[in-house]
Structure 1
Amino acid sequence: MSLIHLPSDVRPEEVLACLQEHGYAIIDRLVSPDHMDGIAGELAPFMDRTPFGPDGILGRRTKRTGGLVARSQGVRDLVMHPTILETSRRFLAHATTIQLHCTQVVAVHPGARAQTLHQDEVAWDMYPWPQDYHVQCNTLWAMTEYTEAMGATRVVPGSHRLGRSLELEIADSLPAEMEKGSVLVYDGKVYHGGGENRSDQVRSAINLTYAVGWVRQEENQFLSCPLEVARTLPEDLLRLMGYQCGAFALGYVNGFEDPMTVLGRAEPGRILGAELMRNADQTDDRRSFLREAELG
């Protein structure tokens, strides 16, 4: 048995359907291997200086290099890839906004042991998210070839429906083998983990994660990307990084002003508020809140 692979010209709604049904999808060659090699060149100085993890969770033979928006134009292109971005927006459409949650290169070196199978959504202080509420949409882009012997990420298909506190073994999972430039998309509820690297090669992936806009980000995008770099970035990327309100009254600056004011991209004194909800797909609760706000 092998995991499901989709072609590079797949439509976001098809990726979404696979994600909802199986908890994951692999899209083959969504970008070219040359694109990934370009990113590797941009990030090599930072990856070389990254230490190995201090424990079995982060991996004693694994390096995790973050701050990728500031460090790589090629990664910015991946963050904004239309297929992935639209899939994430649809998957997390129950929230007013989505945001970039994490950027990192995960480099699993020879001799690395298999990681414990886990759910990424436990990052929020082990909060017991309801089974029908999805808080994140994750991606792992193959920066190198991605084989089982090299420690390809292992996935338990359908485990997004199994709940929390399961004792799953490596034998319950399958390797997400894929070519360089391919991407594994998976639900934050799905059980997965890095594989054992039995080869003599480094297995590298670019982990880009999107989350609903009202939770705290795993990687602090504001501190990871210096203001002098942020001021040069396009507005749609900045808003995805968090220069926006995650929902009504979450993330404004000063007195309900647009966070983009800090970068000189919005008019000072312009008040944000209920318009955030009006611009979103409104639930009954949101409509009720707006009516009450307008009446009183």
Structure 2
Amino acid sequence: MATPTLAHFAADTAIEPLMAALRRDGAVIVDDVIAPDALAALNAELAPYIAATPNGRDSFTGNLTTRTGALVARSAQVRTLVMDRLIAAAADALLLPFCERWQLHLTQAIRIKSGQGAQVIHRDRWAWGTHLGHLEPQLNTIWAVTDFTRANGATQVVPGSLEWPDSRKPEPHEIGYAEMSAGSVLIYTGGVFHGGGANVSDGDRIGLNITYTLGWLRQEENQYLACPPDIARGLPPELQAVLGYAMGSYALGYYTPPLPPGAGPEVVPPEYSLGRSAADATLGDAALLAAISAEVAAN
């Protein structure tokens, strides 16, 4: 049987055909998104961190695989990728039906070394167990820093597996491979079955796993620790919000600064930790409350 293939799109594609393919197959590839000079800058920023990262300690993370995190704090080029226009539009289309705001879930540079076997096929939404099969909680990307080939560990993807039960195991003829040139990006959902490929080549395969989730779910990579306020306060407000320094919904994410009695505000949003004003701070965002109230009334 022929190996399944994924749909490829140009970098300037419209969101509608991309989303149609994503909802059908669970994964698509957008070719040549990162310009060569930006790709070189990305490599230069991340290379020291990747080189210093030890191998995984189990078969899932990979005994010949390294996983480097905190990429927003470490790389200006990654910040640009996190906020990519097409990816944001896909996140809007896939996630906003289930939340008021989506957020960054994790950032990870994954280097699959020569000799690494294939990762077990899985769903990324299993980060929350099997509790979220009734909705799509996640939009994922893997940006190719090197070329992705079947020989060097291109991501295994099972197109059309979105409706499968969690217990279903794919047959070899159902597994495709996200082969793409450096600078391209694999976009896939939290529900599609996939896994890292086996690297039988002589070189490393490096990709950036940048993923997004519903604003009311716990992030896999804790962005408040990976990119703490002293770093995040220097970032653009839009990126701060995606990191999670914004209310996830009405009354979701506020905190009380632990100050002496009367020394400060009692209720503030997360962005207060970045030096934003707390004037007229309330329990939550009035616009989000109005939107939720309208949804409740409509149902």
TM-score by length of 1: 0.91
Q: CA offset at residue 280 of structure 1?
A: 4.5
User: Which residue of structure 1 lines up, in the alignment, with residue 239 of structure 2?
Assistant: 237
| SS of corresponding position for 2:182 | coil
- Equivalent runs, 1:91-130 vs 2, <5 Å: 91-94=94-97, 95-124=99-128, 126-130=129-133
User: Which residue of structure 2 lines up, in the alignment, with residue 81 of structure 1?
Assistant: 84
Q: CA offset at residue 164 of structure 1?
A: 1.1
User: Which residue of structure 2 lines up, in the alignment, with residue 17 of structure 1?
Assistant: 20
AA aligned opposite 2:281: R
Cα distance change, pair 25–282 in 1 and its aligned pair in 2 (3 A) = farther
For 1:100 and 1:170, the matched residues in 2 are separated by: 32
Q: CA offset at residue 127 of structure 1?
A: 3.0
AA aligned opposite 1:77: T
For 2:96 and 2:298, the matched residues in 1 are separated by: 16
For 1:48 and 1:167, the matched residues in 2 are separated by: 34
**Residues 160-207 of structure 1: CA deviation (Å, up to 9, x unaligned):** 111311122444211100011110000100000011001011001100
For structure 2, the 5+ residue unaligned runs are 257-265
219-228 or 103-112, larger mean C-alpha shift: 219-228
| SS of corresponding position for 2:253 | coil
4+ runs deviating over 4 angstroms? 278-283
8 A Cα contact 2:230 2:274, kept in partner: no
User: Which residue of structure 2 lines up, in the alignment, with residue 26 of structure 1?
Assistant: 29
8 A Cα contact 1:257 1:269, kept in partner: no
May I ask how many residue pairs the two structures share in their alignment? 286
- Equivalent runs, 1:145-224 vs 2, <5 Å: 145-224=147-226
User: Which residue of structure 2 lines up, in the alignment, with residue 143 of structure 1?
Assistant: 145
For 1:266 and 1:12, the matched residues in 2 are separated by: 36
For 2:120 and 2:212, the matched residues in 1 are separated by: 22
Identity of matched residues, %: 41
For 1:287 and 1:252, the matched residues in 2 are separated by: 27
Q: CA offset at residue 240 of structure 1?
A: 0.4
| SS of corresponding position for 1:17 | helix
8 A Cα contact 1:57 1:116, kept in partner: yes
- Equivalent runs, 1:276-295 vs 2, <5 Å: 276-278=287-289, 280=291, 284-285=295-296
AA aligned opposite 1:140: I
8 A Cα contact 1:149 1:198, kept in partner: yes
* Selected match of 1:263 from 274, 279, 286: 274
8 A Cα contact 2:249 2:285, kept in partner: no
For 1:16 and 1:283, the matched residues in 2 are separated by: 27
Root mean square deviation of aligned Cα: 1.8
For structure 1, the 5+ residue unaligned runs are 289-296
56-65 or 166-175, larger mean C-alpha shift: 166-175
AA aligned opposite 1:8: A
For 2:242 and 2:293, the matched residues in 1 are separated by: 20
Q: CA offset at residue 269 of structure 1?
A: 4.6
8 A Cα contact 2:255 2:268, kept in partner: yes
**Residues 68-117 of structure 1: CA deviation (Å, up to 9, x unaligned):** 00000000000001110111111101211100000000110000000111
Q: CA offset at residue 59 of structure 1?
A: 0.3
AA aligned opposite 2:92: R
219-228 or 248-257, larger mean C-alpha shift: 248-257
TM-score by length of 2: 0.90
